[in-house]
Amino acid sequence: MQEGRAEMALSEREMDVLRLLAKGWTNCSIAKEMTVSERTLGFHVGNVLGKLAADSRTEAMVIAIKKGWLKL
């Protein structure tokens, strides 16, 4: 986790992205499902990582699971 960054709540859209990431979907697949460009999806992923102060998708999922936002 990146130091000095406070965790922030995720928007509903960002939670959708996080759920699909947790299912192992690629950016391309998620973008098609959400009907956005891959570039826009990249911004969503970046926002998720930033708000959770996570350095990776895996770390973001671990944080979300610990918070009870995602279930295994």
Cα separations in angstroms, 23 against 7, 10, 34, 71: 23, 18, 15, 11
14-58 residue pLDDT tens = 999 999 999 999 999 999 999 999 999 999 999 999 999 999 999
Q: Nearest CA to 57 among 23, 6, 9? A: 23
Output the pLDDT for position 13: 95
CATH class, domain 12-66, is: mainly alpha
pTM, two decimals, is: 0.83
Domain boundaries, the chain: 12-66
Is the pLDDT at 4 greater than 50, yes or no?
A: no
Residue in this structure with the two tokens 């936002």, named with its chain if needed = 69
